[in-house]
A and B are shown apart, each in its own frame.
Chain A
Amino acid sequence: EAQVTQNPRYLITVTGKKLTVTCSQNMNHEYMSWYRQDPGLGLRQIYYSMNVEVTDKGDVPEGYKVSRKEKRNFPLILESPSPNQTSLYFCASSTPDRGRNTEAFFGQGTRLTVV
């Protein structure tokens, strides 16, 4: 089954304690991205990756890091989380296929609370 898997689904942490949210896809997609979803602000892109070892900032990259060492994995790293990073996070993957298979596949989301 084609899927994007995020872990954990829920996380409560304290300010300053480094954390990593993992994301893995089994569709051999080149493109992967991270979004955060906040009430009234919709989905905002944090970082994206066009392929292995190629990453770039999205609209709200401050306070986040990513890496793309393997095609299937795209972890989101918060080196020193702060309360304003409390949010719902989504990982997505897609392909550059110019034919029919262009939609993004989303993970189930990670609800992060930083206290």
Chain B
Amino acid sequence: GESVGLHLPTLSVQEGDNSIINCAYSNSASDYFIWYKQESGKGPQFIIDIRSNMDKRQGQRVTVLLNKTVKHLSLQIAATQPGDSAVYFCAENGYNQGGKLIFGQGTELSVKP
């Protein structure tokens, strides 16, 4: 069936470097995408979202890129900090999904001081 998945299960970066977390989706009807951050013992925390009529959106230190041609989503974190260490999930809220979010498996980001 349709699914959202991640290319890399783990990512280790040096503090201060930029991080890029990738996500592939297969539902061509998806029109809304969200990135979540989940720290140990907590629920997922909203980071940034993007609609399908955009290809880039920036937040504070984060940028989400959407390439609908190849059904690819990425999250870029600038000047990665130890506090960014967490599991990151992409999720899609497809037009034909009735409102529910479909999550990928997650990428664990580890920031080395």
Whether chain B is bound by chain A comes out as: no
